[in-house]
Amino acid sequence: MSSSAPLSIVEVQRRVGAELDRLAPLIDSLGALFTDAGHELHLVGGPVRDAMLGRSHHDLDFTTSARPEVTERLLKGWGDALWDMGRDFGTIGARKGEWVVEVTTYRSESYDPSSRNPTVQYGDSLAGDLGRRDFTVNAMAVALPGREFEDPYGGIVDLAHQVLRTPGRPEDSFGDDPLRMLRAARFAAQLGFTVAPEVVAAMTAMADRITIISAERVRDELVKLICAPHPRLGLTLLVDTGLAALVLPELPALQLERDEHHRHKDVYEHTLTVLEQAIELEPRLGRADGEPDFVSRFAALMHDVGKPRTRRLVGDGTVTFHHHDVVGAKLTAKRMKALRFSNDDIEAVSKLVELHLRFHGYGSGEWTDSAVRRYVRDAGDQLERLHVLTRADCTTRNQRKADRLRRTYDDLEARIARLSQEEELASLRPDLDGNQIMAVLGIGPGREVGEAYAFLLDLRLDRGPLDEDQARAALLEWWASR
Ligand code: ATP
Ligand code: MG
């Protein structure tokens, strides 16, 4: 858990001051625009919180007493571009130069307990607006243009102690919007904060309310949690409160009861470590600096979910998990479908889960070139992520064994590089195309052309590239032997 020493309040205030100075060209004029028109305007939520943590935002959230029509009129003369974020939510967005602002009318939501989404009602006070926000660290505001700091729920103290607490009773807050329970886990993972004990207790008691939330909203929070810097914090909180059993049951299911001999490692703990190791290896994926890769992370989290179902105790007390890769890929696809992930994401993650064990047949380099080609071909555009997953999936404490596995994988990657260079493996085609096949065999389009194509592709994988005469001869031989 987060164990860092409390931040000093003086330092936190200094950081906000510095950030407001940086924002001055923007917030001074915007604040004057609203107050001159007789309205209040506050910088609020994420940007205030993150300023205190020493991070700056380029997307700035504001809250105002002005109704959306008024906000729109005021921003029209000020920004370079304007958009309506959904009139129902009372948010107007604007861009001015490099700045993006979103201005939302004070809210006091009322909730229909049977509905999945809050119904919005406008409110009349800043305190009311802040009181309906999820956590005290998100419920701080700075009045503009005067820069008075507004913190009715003690967010600054909670931020200094790095703890998430609700402005009111957590039971009331989660009763109003159960998604906030997942947001607690998400912010724990993003900020590295702990969650106050009374908040954890309410999450545990009320976990089953999460089932009224739409799959899309659950998915979006899970993605943010998994892409955060400390996903272990958020995931263990979800598991310990019973929320994971409802939104991602495959994860707590990994806490297999250990057999009396402790012959296998705790798969749940192993999984969290694999996820962290996959995050460390993320730079290999060549994305922009520090950019998280959801597919790679989620594949690490799901790679062993087939284990509980395939677990067998064999005669001598050994535990086996035959085909947990295939079963795990199916379970993964099913869960991702239920959470309404895109087909591309589902395909990518389940492919990685399905292939995560393949390397273990490599031994100490015994694969033929043909086996290496198949590995590359089967991984397709997931090959780089498969390298990351397979390397991350080694959590042995035996340093020599770990070193040996790493060197063996280095060897495999070197062979792939060599073969790819020689053969352009990724875009592998048979040595003859469909037209050539029809010409050689003297047949027209049909099922047989497809069969011949498959035969030639197989041959290509087994033997590497053939010249046209060799391919022609092999094709004719196959045709004759049918
Ligand atoms: P991010 O960097 O992900 O945008 P954020 O803190 O801005 O982080 P958002 O989800 O954009 O978080 O929400 C903006 C603000 O609105 C939050 O700081 C919080 O005060 C409030 N908020 C958002 N969703 C809820 C909710 N479901 N219940 C209560 N308050 C919420
Ligand atoms: Mg935001």
Say if CB 102 and CB 91 are below 8 A apart.
Answer: yes
Tell me the CA–centroid distance for residue 366 and ligand 1, in Å.
53
pTM for this prediction: 0.85
Residues 6+ apart with CB under 8 A from 230: 2, 188, 189, 190, 192
**pLDDT the model gives residue 265:** 58
| Ligand 1: residue whose CA is nearest its atom 30 | 133
Residue 350 Ramachandran class (φ > 0 left, ψ -120 to 50 alpha, else beta): alpha
**pLDDT the model gives residue 80:** 92
Mutate to test the pocket of ligand 1, among 49, 60, 138 (most ligand atoms within 8 A of CB): 138
Q: Which two structure tokens, joined as six digits, stand for 72? A: 């729109």
Contact 138 CB / ligand 1 (< 6 Å): yes
Q: Could you tell me which of 207, 183, 205 has the C-alpha nearest to residue 193?
A: 183
Contact 134 CB / ligand 1 (< 6 Å): yes
Say if CB 187 and CB 194 are below 8 A apart.
Answer: no
Mutate to test the pocket of ligand 1, among 61, 106, 109, 134 (most ligand atoms within 8 A of CB): 134
Tell me the CA–centroid distance for residue 228 and ligand 2, in Å.
14
Contact 45 CB / ligand 1 (< 6 Å): yes
- The three-class DSSP label of residue 438 is helix
**pLDDT the model gives residue 1:** 43
Q: How far apart are CA 111 and CA 91, in angstroms?
A: 19
Say if CB 221 and CB 182 are below 8 A apart.
Answer: yes
| Ligand 1: residue whose CA is nearest its atom 12 | 46
| Ligand 1: residue whose CA is nearest its atom 7 | 46
Tell me the CA–centroid distance for residue 45 and ligand 1, in Å.
7
Q: Are strands 99-105 and 59-64 parallel, antiparallel or unpaired?
A: parallel
Mean pLDDT by 10 residues, the chain (482 residues): 74 95 94 97 97 90 96 93 81 92 87 60 91 97 96 97 97 96 98 98 98 97 98 98 98 77 73 97 87 97 94 83 94 98 98 95 85 93 97 93 93 90 70 89 88 89 86 93 87
Contact 46 CB / ligand 1 (< 6 Å): yes
Tell me the CA–centroid distance for residue 45 and ligand 2, in Å.
8
Amino acid at 304: D
Say if CB 285 and CB 385 are below 8 A apart.
Answer: yes
**pLDDT the model gives residue 317:** 77
**pLDDT the model gives residue 257:** 65
Residues 6+ apart with CB under 8 A from 98: 58
Q: Which two structure tokens, joined as six digits, stand for 386? A: 């498969």
**pLDDT the model gives residue 117:** 61
- Tell me which residues have their CB within 5 A of the ion that is ligand 2: 46
Residues 6+ apart with CB under 8 A from 454: none
